[in-house]
Each structure stands twice: as structure tokens, then as C-alpha cells.
Amino acid sequence: MLLLLNFGGLFGQNMTPAIIVSVETMLERWKGQEGKEIEVYNEFRLLTSEVISRTAFGSNYLEGEKIFAMLNKLTILVSQNISKTKIPFINKLWKSAEMLESENLEKGIQDYVMEMIKKREDKVVSGEADSFGNDFLGLLVNAYHDLDDKNRVSLEDLVGECKTIYFAGQETVNSLLAWIVLHLAIHGDWQEKARREVIDIFGNQNPHLEGIAKLKIMTMIINETLRLYGPSNGLPRTVAREVQLGKLVLPANIDVLSLNIGLHRDPHLWGDDVHHFKPERFAEGIAKATNYTAAAFFPFGFGPRSCVGMTLATIETKIALSMILQRYTITISPAYVHSPMPILTIRPRHGIQIILEPLHSC
């Protein structure tokens, strides 16, 4: 957890140029698609994969493609089986095909992570590098070799943190960007408000951290999209000790799933227009929007267990949206079919098809 927090701090300061380069690569690819239909969910999958590969692991999407594919398969399997009852004794005697596939994927991911670590170690041993690096993987490898038992991380923790940052840095931003672009394509008035704000702050220049902090309208749009289509369906938690929750008594050592969509779409908290896209709800901040009910809005978790990828997701989203709005108007394609699908994150079952028109002729 501490390493993830360190990476969150490093991200805003040092990773912005890498994000901009990745977005520019995507926008260069889009130049040949102007006026044509583009499926942006997959486009943003490539973008966010490239960003997390560059910023956290010092590589690129092609090098990390294998682990992204394995994590995607594992995510689908976990989602399909999250509600199934598991009987420990039976599971030791007999394993389903899905369980065996999950174990193979887990081993494949661990092998891939160990391969990345060995490359870093070999460079230091051979004298090709004088450190393991200052990106997220470098922090992990340093901690893996730490001489102090209190600071050293185990192999299990190392692999787990790599999986977390891959997922938090790729899957959540992928979904968030796609749903925001859909809403901006439908709600042209908010698209234009966001564009005017971006142009006022950045002009035609690339985004910078000082300006990103001033994007009030975009923050409202992001929060409203997170409310309607948050990056997770709910928060799985294990009950450490017996606790009373309202009229329920929850015994220790059971798993519970808190569905944030139930609170995010509760008309008693948000009003009768709870299902409508209305970013103005957040004009005076989250506290005022929720009537100071902290648990009414928790797209990235709540309390000390909040997702450490929140800063990464927000900054990357703002940079990508700013650079898109500086160049294009967005409209929805007639081919789009609305069918959100919960697979840990909320994904569009049939993708999100839009049409981009350039703001300025080149």
C-alpha cells in the first residue's frame, strides 16, 4: 500500500509528459478517421494500457500486451464467479475448469512479473544500470531487496501490487474516459462548456498540472459520470469481527459486497432526476452535492481503503479529454447501442461508437 501511495505522489509530478506523448500517439492515429465512425472504448484501452506501461513499468503497450490480456481474462472469470459459493473442502478435491484457468492465469502473471524484475536485476548486476529505476516497478524491486525486514515486500505482495496498479491504472481510466465521451457526445451543451474552459486555460497548448487543477467544469462532468457509471460495481470487504449494521448482525470472517450504484442512484439522496446526466449537481463540490452525506458518493472507495489510483485516473482523464476537446467535436454514431455490462468495472457491451469532426482544418 505504501508503494502505491508513493507512486500516486510521483505520478502528478513526473508522469504528465508520458501521458501527453501517449495521447498524441492516439490523436495522430485518429487523423485518418475524421468524419468516420470510431469505437472509443477500444481506443482508450490502448491509450490507458500505453500510459500505465510507460509511467509505472518503463515499457510500452506492446511489451505489456501479454499481461494485459491475462488480466482481462482473469477479470472476466472473477466477475463471473464472484457470487458463487465456495466450499473449501470440496474445492481441494475438485476444481472447476474456470478455477483451473484462473490459477493458470495467476501463474502466468506471476511469471511475467518475475521476468520484468529479473531484467531490472540483471541490468544492475552487469553494471548497465546503477539502480532499479525510479518508476513504480523500480520502487517495488527496491522494496523486494530491502535489507530491513520491516520494509521488505514478499513476492506475493510484489505481484499483487503490480496487478493492482495495472488494473487501477488501465481498466478504471479506460471505462471512465469512454463513458464521459459518450455523455459529451449526447449532451453537446456540456461538451461546449468543457471545451471553452479548456481553451480558456490552455489555449492550443498541451495541458499542464497548474491548469489541470483549475478545470472546474470538467471536474463536474467527471464526478457526474463517476456517479452514473463508476469504475467499480461495488466494494468487496471481509468482516474482521462481528458488527451490527442497522438491523443486521454480520458475523466475523464473511465477505460482503457494498454496491455503490445503490447509493449513487438513490432518489432520496440525489432527487427524482437521479438517472439523468446533470453535472451541475457538483457545481459547489462533492460535499454540497451529497448534502454532506459522505457515503453517498464513493466511486473510488471510502476512508483509508480508498483507491490509490484515484489521482492517476483523474489527471490522466483530464489530460486526455482536454487534448481531444482542443481538436474535435464529438457526436454519437447511429450505430451505438446502449448496453452497460458489469465486469468488475462497467463496460459497454457493444463498445461506444462516435464520430469526430476537426475543429480546425489543417
Binding residues for heme: 307
- Antiparallel, parallel or unpaired: β 243-245 and 248-250: antiparallel
Handedness of CA 326, 327, 329, 332 (dihedral sign): negative
SS (H, E, C) the chain: CHHHHHHHHHHHHHCHHHHHHHHHHHHHHHHHHCCCEEEHHHHHHHHHHHHHHHHHHCCCHHHHHHHHHHHHHHHHHHHHHCCCCCCHHHHHHCCCHHHHHHHHHHHHHHHHHHHHHHHHHHHHHHCCCCCCCCCHHHHHHHHHCCCCCCCCCCHHHHHHHHHHHHHHHHHHHHHHHHHHHHHHHHCHHHHHHHHHHHHHHHCCCCCCHHHHCCCHHHHHHHHHHHHHCCCCCEEEEECCCCEEECCEEECCCCEEEEEHHHHHCCHHHHCCCCCCCCHHHHCCCHHHHCCCCHHHCCCCCCHHHCCCCHHHHHHHHHHHHHHHHCCEEEEECCCCCCCEEEECEEEECCCCEEEEEECCCC
Question: What is each CA distance from 257 to 28, 235, 238, 277, 323, in whole angstroms?
Answer: 42, 5, 9, 26, 37
Alpha-carbon distance 147 to 153, whole Å? 10
For helices 136-144 and 155-186, the axis angle rounded to 10 degrees is 160
Binding site listing? 307
Reading the block at residue 101, the C-alpha cell is: 484457468
